[in-house]
């Protein structure tokens, strides 16, 4: 499979490294509007062709699939152009700025008979995969309650660099630079993780989003720092479970923690992932419930999103997380924003869209 990488910012490095590990995949080209950046990226990963516009790459055409690693607002036009050119696409999350554009992308890839997948790479966590298996097999019974969180602290620490002086962080705080805030950046990961591990979508929600003051006038140079920094959501799932989903960049003391806890009528599960401690899966089952004893469960490695994308392209089979799934998840994100604006609880099935 000949692969084109579209967008060569920081996240593109993960795509280049992971695709390079897969037999039969050759990264043949890279695209970025910044000539110096794309040249440096191509040199780093020994990529033969570079382009400063996607149309140049499409005109060249010597690739089978693309990894779309552009900014959030660019996903829609660039992906549609790739689909129109007959190329399979692995798109970064969120799939688009809103449900309407996401649904358009899903319909386009379905009509074209191409593979369209979204990089919800936290599904690659063996602990999350194993937790889903336990839920589906009925090990913890019917889920009654859950909580899910994604906590970061880069707005209150220099662990990943000084955000106030680096464009790679500043754009994530500015809606005019394509950011959908913490909700669309890492919040969508925890929304996906909660839906995936429980095997159930959000049916009803009430959300609150907030943008804290980070600089005088919440502005630094060309960047208006107006994107949401924290969100909380109370949610009811289609399976009847109720819980809280939240994400924040102001979680002092947490560099990058994803946590999902599920409480069923026969047991409970906890998935935790951190840079410092790796990933773990713990369970409270059987007689351990009486004394609240939690035991760690061994897990095995699972295929990565990059491997699954390549397998889907080679087999010609639709694979998850698909564009259609991501579009439906984007509707939940849209409703969270609407819930904040209206200060209202909203029901997904009442929208007439999903």
Neighbour order of strands in the sheet with 202-210: 295-296, 278-285, 267-274, 256-264, 143-152, 242-248, 230-237, 202-210, 346-347
Answer yes or no: pTM beyond 0.75.
yes
200: left (phi over 0), alpha (psi -120 to 50) or beta: beta
pLDDT confidence of residue 160: 86
* Res 87 pLDDT > 60: yes
Structure tokens at 155: 């707005």
What is each CA distance from 251 to 8, 120, 150, 155, 228, in whole angstroms?
Answer: 29, 22, 9, 9, 14
Report the CATH number at residue 101: 3.40.50.720
Lowest mean pLDDT among 31-35, 206-210, 218-222, 348-352: 348-352
Q: How many angstroms separate the CA atoms of 26 and 306, rounded?
A: 13
- Same domain, residue pair 74 and 190: no
Report the CATH number at residue 265: 3.30.360.10
For residue 20, is it within any domain?
A: yes
For residue 223, is it within any domain?
A: yes
- Same domain, residue pair 151 and 229: yes
| Maximum CA extent, the chain | 65
- Same domain, residue pair 195 and 338: yes
- Same domain, residue pair 155 and 112: no
Confidence of residue 290 (pLDDT cuts 50, 70, 90): very high
Contact status, residue 149 vs residue 190, Cβ threshold 8 Å: yes
For residue 207, is it within any domain?
A: yes
Q: How many angstroms separate the CA atoms of 10 and 202, rounded?
A: 31
Alpha-helical runs (H) found in the chain: 12-20, 35-44, 54-60, 75-84, 99-112, 126-136, 167-170, 181-182, 188-198, 288-291, 305-315, 323-342
How many structural domains compose the chain?
A: 2
- Same domain, residue pair 143 and 177: yes
For residue 326, is it within any domain?
A: no
Contact status, residue 329 vs residue 205, Cβ threshold 8 Å: no
- Same domain, residue pair 296 and 204: yes
| 265: exposed, middle or buried (Cβ count in 10 Å: 0-12, 13-18, 19+) | exposed
Q: How many angstroms separate the CA atoms of 87 and 14, rounded?
A: 21
Domain of residue 191: give its range.
122-303+332-349
For residue 324, is it within any domain?
A: no
Question: Among residues of the chain, what percentage have pLDDT more than 90?
Answer: 91
- Same domain, residue pair 299 and 312: no
* Residue 115: φ, ψ to 5°: -90, 125
Confidence of residue 350 (pLDDT cuts 50, 70, 90): low
Average pLDDT value for residue range 305-333: 95
- Same domain, residue pair 152 and 295: yes
Of 109, 79, 83, 116, the C-alpha closest to 97 is 79
pLDDT confidence of residue 71: 87
pLDDT confidence of residue 54: 98
- Same domain, residue pair 258 and 276: yes
Contact status, residue 45 vs residue 56, Cβ threshold 8 Å: no
For residue 169, is it within any domain?
A: yes
Confidence of residue 47 (pLDDT cuts 50, 70, 90): very high
| 109: exposed, middle or buried (Cβ count in 10 Å: 0-12, 13-18, 19+) | buried
- Same domain, residue pair 299 and 311: no
For residue 94, is it within any domain?
A: yes
For residue 327, is it within any domain?
A: no
- Same domain, residue pair 128 and 109: no
- Same domain, residue pair 135 and 183: yes
| Other Cβ atoms within 10 Å of 224 Cβ, number | 15
Tokens 């040199």 label which residue?
A: 43
What is each CA distance from 276 to 101, 158, 252, in whole angstroms?
Answer: 37, 16, 15
């Amino acid at each position: 499979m000949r692969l084109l990488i579209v967008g060569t910012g920081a996240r593109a490095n993960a795509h280049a490294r992971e695709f390079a590990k897969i037999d039969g995949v050759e990264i043949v080209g890279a695209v970025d509007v910044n000539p110096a950046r794309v040249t440096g990226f191509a040199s780093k990963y020994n990529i033969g062709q570079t382009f400063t516009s996607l149309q140049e790459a499409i005109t060249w055409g010597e690739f089978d699939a693309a990894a779309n690693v552009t900014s959030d607002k660019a996903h829609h036009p660039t992906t549609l152009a790739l689909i129109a050119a007959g190329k399979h696409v692995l798109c970064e999350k969120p799939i688009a700025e809103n449900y309407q554009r996401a649904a358009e992308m899903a319909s386009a890839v379905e009509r074209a008979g191409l593979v369209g997948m979204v990089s919800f790479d936290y599904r690659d966590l063996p602990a999350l995969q194993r937790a889903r298996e336990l839920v589906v097999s009925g090990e913890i019974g019917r889920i009654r309650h859950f909580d899910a969180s994604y906590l970061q602290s880069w707005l209150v620490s220099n662990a990943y660099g000084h955000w106030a002086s680096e464009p790679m962080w500043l754009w994530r705080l500015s809606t005019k630079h394509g950011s959908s805030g913490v909700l669309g950046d890492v919040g969508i990961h925890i929304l996906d993780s909660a839906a995936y591990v429980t095997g159930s979508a959000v049916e009803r929600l009430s959300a609150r989003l907030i943008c804290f003051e980070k600089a005088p006038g919440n502005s630094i140079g060309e960047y208006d720092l107006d994107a949401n920094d924290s969100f909380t959501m109370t949610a009811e799932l289609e399976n009847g479970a109720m819980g809280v989903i939240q994400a924040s960049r102001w979680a002092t003391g947490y560099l990058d923690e994803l946590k999902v806890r599920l409480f069923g009528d026969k047991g409970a599960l906890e998935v935790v992932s951190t840079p410092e401690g790796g990933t773990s899966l713990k369970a409270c089952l059987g007689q351990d419930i009486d004394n609240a004893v939690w035991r760690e469960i061994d897990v095995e490695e699972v295929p990565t999103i990059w491997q699954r994308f390549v397998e889907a392209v080679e087999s010609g089979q639709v694979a998850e997380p698909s564009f259609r799934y991501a579009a439906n998840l984007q509707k939940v994100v849209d409703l969270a924003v609407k819930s904040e604006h209206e200060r209202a609880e909203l029901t997904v099935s009442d929208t007439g869209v999903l």
